[in-house]
Amino acid sequence: MARFRQLRNFTTTLCAGLEPEDYVVQSMPDVSPTKWHLAHTTWFFETFILKKFVPAYRSEIPEYAYLFNSYYNAAGDMHRRDLRGLISRPTVREAQRYRASIDSHIDNLLSGADEKLLDEIEPILVLGIHHEQQHQELLITDIKHVFAQNPLYPVFRAKKISAAPAKTMPIHFFDFEETIISIGHDGHGFAYDNEGLRHRALVPAFSLASRPVTNGEYIEFIEDNGYTRPELWLSLGWMTVNEQRWQAPLYWTKRDGAWWHFTLSGFRAVEKSVPVTHVSYFEADAFANWAGARLPTEFEWERAALGCPIEGNFVEEEDFHPRAQSPSGDDRHLHQMFGDVWEWTRSAYSPYPGYRAEPGALGEYNGKFMCNQYVLRGGSCATSRSHIRRTYRNFFQPEKRWQFTGIRLARDPQ
């Protein structure tokens, strides 16, 4: 119950600087309005816990089931995703009231439940907590996209971020020997179903970069005409670059010969020592080709992460922006594997051997998206520290750029 309350309060905290007008904008089909995130995460607890475990429970407003279902076909019909920004009612205040009402129903249910009932509810409640943490991250990346459309460049969180060091650690590569390792979650504690089944995988020898690619390194790629050299790009990537007229990462603009970008703390000069972010898989792959390297597989990444503590720049820091690695850091181990930026892998998001989606609505959580997407690892500056794991598999289509996505290079043995 304490965890549930803390989670729900953190969502409210994230919205602290927003005005009602900010909550309703949908700047592209991938973006959901803040108000929708508030209501949809609430709908999740209402649908999968209250409607299931409280026999006398009746929704105050049954239409919310249609408006705030995202993609769960087994839970009924749903409103069109790309039209979420057209919905001015319920109002922001009504959505907040919906949250409070469901919270108090959950409170009542848990405080009156016996051990047996609690055992049944717990896995779904924990799933709901992780689900809302995912939406907290989306809420942040979505409002960033919304604000970036506004020539006034609204500030999401006024925060004086200490100046990034001018230089960062030089990049170097760690060598890993060929081995057979266990991949996937071992079953202790929470994991999503897509992290199983745990299985053995052969990982041939590879090298992995000590830290993510920085803005400064990415600018070298841009200045070497990286965006206009088809030989660096996947065919689909080259089509996308030309159709979308990409010349730099999302949110970047050139002013008087220097690169600037929109951040959640305002518009500012691109810091060269900070990890590059808001790049697509296509850009990550082209950069790697240009650098004489490649992206890691998710198995290489998971193997390398075994020795890394799960610490870093997560949402709890409330920077909402990646940080530079100190130039005087220890160069004997990998840096920034967790937090800062999600790292694109070259692994297609597909089921592990033996994976079967559960029957019913909750089986739709991950399994049905295992087509045409790539796996990302490690979490970002918008991810909760308690949400990420070494085995965590995030996934997006290769052209998506609005998440905090970045690049870590890998190489085959020289």
Contact residues for Fe ion, defined by CB under 5 A: 70
Cβ-based nearer residue to Fe ion, 70 or 297: 70
Q: CA 160 to CA 162: how far, in whole Å?
A: 6
| Sign of the four-CA dihedral 138, 143, 144, 149 | positive
Minimum CB–partner distance for residue 67 and Fe ion (Å) = 13
Q: How far is CA 101 from CA 43, 108, 144, 222, in A?
A: 11, 11, 29, 51
Could you tell me the smallest distance in angstroms from the CB atom of residue 99 to Fe ion?
15
The residue (of 11 and 70) whose beta carbon lies closer to Fe ion is 70
Q: What is the 3-state secondary structure (H, E, C) of the chain?
A: CHHHHHHHHHHHHHCCCCCHHHHHCCCCCCCCCHHHHHHHHHHHHHHHHHHHHCCCCCCCCCCHHHHCCCCCHHHCCCCCHHHHHHCCCCCHHHHHHHHHHHHHHHHHHHHHCCHHHHHHHHHHHHHHHHHHHHHHHHHHHHHHHHHHCCCCCCCCCCCCCCCCCCCCCCCCEEEECCEEEEECCCCCCCCCHHHCCCEEEEECCEEEECCCCEHHHHHHHHHCCHHHCHHHCCHHHHHHHHHHCCCCCCCEEEECCEEEEEECCEEEECCCCCECCCCCHHHHHHHHHHCCCECCCHHHHHHHHCCCCCCCCCHHHCCCCCCCCCCCCCCCCCCCCCCCCEEEEEEECCCCCCCCCCCCHHHHCCHHHCCCCEEEECCCCCCCCCCCCCCCCEEECCCCCCCCEECCCEECCC
Pick the closer one to Fe ion by CB: 32 or 168.
32
Cβ-based nearer residue to Fe ion, 102 or 409? 102
28 or 258: whose CB is closer to Fe ion?
Answer: 28
In whole angstroms, the minimum distance from the beta carbon of 11 to Fe ion comes to 13
Between 70 and 325, CB nearer to Fe ion = 70
Output the smallest distance, CB 345 to Fe ion, in A.
23
Instruction: Tell me how far, at minimum, the Cβ of 70 lies from Fe ion, in Å.
Output: 5
| Nearest-approach distance from CB 77 to Fe ion, in angstroms | 16
- Point out the residue whose Cβ comes nearest to Fe ion: 70
Closest distance to Fe ion from the beta carbon of 29 (Å):
15
Nearer of residues 248 and 376 to Fe ion, judged by Cβ: 376
Considering the complex, what minimum distance in angstroms separates the CB of residue 349 from Fe ion?
17
Least CB distance to Fe ion at residue 348 (A): 23
* CB nearer Fe ion, residue 125 or residue 274: 125
By beta-carbon proximity to Fe ion, the closer residue of 190 and 267 is 190
